[in-house]
Amino acid sequence: MAQTTTITLTGAGGQIGYAALFRIAAGDMLGPDRLIALRLLEIPQGMRGAEGAAMELLDCAFPLLESVEISDDPNVAFDGANIALLIGSRPRTAGMERGDLLAANGAIFGPQGRAIGEHAADDVRVAVVGNPANTNALIAQQHAAGVPAERFSALTRLDHNRAVGLLAAEAGASVRAVDGITIWGNHSATQYPDLSHATIDGRPALETVDAAWARGPYIERVAKRGAEIIEVRGGSSVASAANAAIEHVRDWVLGTGDRRTSAAVVSRGEYGVPEGLISSFPVRSDGDGWRVVEGLGVDDFSRQRIDASVAELVAERDAVRELGLIP
Ligand code: NAI
């Protein structure tokens, strides 16, 4: 009998939730051999959206999907969760100060972290998508008593995939030919997409594309790709964000093989990033957990970029500490 994995998804009535649920239930995240029990967490205003999605999931008759349950109580929704995808968050609205945004999200991710600590399965892995993703992940992690810190991560896979796609387009190469890109730091405008160690068909990417482009317009374009999508599409990145969340968890659980990717994970001090911060690094997974790829050379330009993004994470951490949202 195939094993059943319980996946709790928050924000299930929202856009990314809607784009992710059907692919998860079809097996895109955990492969064809695992049965899936879905737990959908919403706030009361989002329950109807989640209920509608659950009805459509039933109408798909996915063979892998064992059950779908909906709740607005984190203690119920995270019960027995093996994987938690934290997508629902409080977006920034007009006139909102950073402190207000962090406080509003602290009120979401603190209780969710606590519920994960109290009710999730022993092997739970948590991926945070809702922004500000790195700091929301830190808040949840700090409240999840008894869950090892390395089980928490935040999504920078969308940034990574954007960086791969835009490099391949510039070089006229296939995305399959690209490897070794790293997103460093925060999932924000300060993120650093780094091509120093990237390769295209095994050759250094910086021998194929213009180095001035790679260290100027390229960085800007990757970091601001979300705004570019909004301008063209008239709406935020949804399908690509859902895809990135699915790939993040898939690689974490099933392994990356020899290829590298990027994920925001708890720093153990690698590359001078202060211990405990949830910062994006070059990573691989053997299926048991993310491993930061160590030993990559960091030149002066990269150092400055990494330090600037990490400084922003430190400022966010200090702000949530001051607000009493983390110890
Ligand atoms: P959305 O507004 O369509 O959906 C969010 C859903 O979360 C809503 O249905 C809302 O009711 C629900 N929600 C709010 N608070 C909740 C709580 N405490 N518990 C459970 N559910 C709750 O937004 P969308 O487009 O789905 O985006 C979700 C988040 O993902 C946003 O914070 C967005 O900024 C972020 N995002 C992150 C990306 C990344 O790469 N890390 C990429 C794109 C979006």
Answer yes or no: is pLDDT of 319 > 80. yes
Map tokens 């029990």 to a residue.
37
Answer yes or no: is pLDDT of 92 > 90. no
Answer yes or no: is pLDDT of 95 > 90. no
Q: Which residues contact 99 (CB under 8 A, 6 or more apart)?
A: 319, 323
What's the pLDDT at 1?
A: 59
Q: Which residues contact 149 (CB under 8 A, 6 or more apart)?
A: 141, 266, 276
Q: What tokens appear for 40 in the block? A: 């959908």
| Mean pLDDT confidence for 13-17 | 98
Cα gap 133→150, rounded to integer Å: 15
Q: How far is the CA of 157 from the centre of ligand 1 (A)?
A: 16
Answer yes or no: is pLDDT of 96 > 90. no
Cα gap 327→322, rounded to integer Å: 9
DSSP three-state, residue 41 = strand
What's the pLDDT at 94?
A: 83
What number is the ipTM of this complex? 0.99
Atom nearest to 45 CA in ligand 1: 11
Domains and CATH numbers, the chain: 4-154 (3.40.50.720), 157-315 (3.90.110.10)
DSSP three-state, residue 277 = coil
Q: How confident is the model at residue 163 (pLDDT cuts 50, 70, 90)?
A: very high
Which amino acid is present at 17? G
User: 215 with 196: CB under 8 angstroms?
Assistant: no
What's the pLDDT at 37?
A: 98
Closest-CA residue to 83 (of 8, 20, 178)? 8
With the most atoms of ligand 1 within 8 angstroms of its CB, the residue from 87, 116, 158 to mutate is 87
In this structure, the residues whose C-beta lies within 6 A of any atom of ligand 1 are: 10-11, 13-17, 41-43, 45-46, 49, 87-89, 91, 108, 129-131, 133, 155, 158, 187, 236-238, 241, 244
Q: How far is the CA of 109 from the centre of ligand 1 (A)?
A: 12
Closest-CA residue to 264 (of 148, 151, 185)? 185
Cα gap 197→173, rounded to integer Å: 17
DSSP three-state, residue 297 = coil
As annotated, the binding site for substrate includes 92, 98, 131, 162
User: 312 with 223: CB under 8 angstroms?
Assistant: no
Cα gap 327→196, rounded to integer Å: 37
Q: How far is the CA of 238 from the centre of ligand 1 (A)?
A: 10
Q: How confident is the model at residue 50 (pLDDT cuts 50, 70, 90)?
A: very high
Q: What is the mean pLDDT of the chain?
A: 97
Q: How confident is the model at residue 182 (pLDDT cuts 50, 70, 90)?
A: very high
Cα gap 147→145, rounded to integer Å: 6
pLDDT digits (tens, 9 = 90+) for 204-240: 999 999 999 999 999 999 999 999 999 999 999 999 9
Cα gap 203→187, rounded to integer Å: 28
Q: What's this model's pTM, rounded to 2 decimal places?
A: 0.98
User: 88 with 59: CB under 8 angstroms?
Assistant: no
Answer yes or no: is pLDDT of 10 > 90. yes
| Mean pLDDT confidence for 32-57 | 98
| Mean pLDDT confidence for 51-77 | 98
Cα gap 129→123, rounded to integer Å: 20
Closest-CA residue to 179 (of 260, 254, 263, 292)? 260
Query: How many C-beta neighbours within 10 Å does residue 59 have?
Result: 8
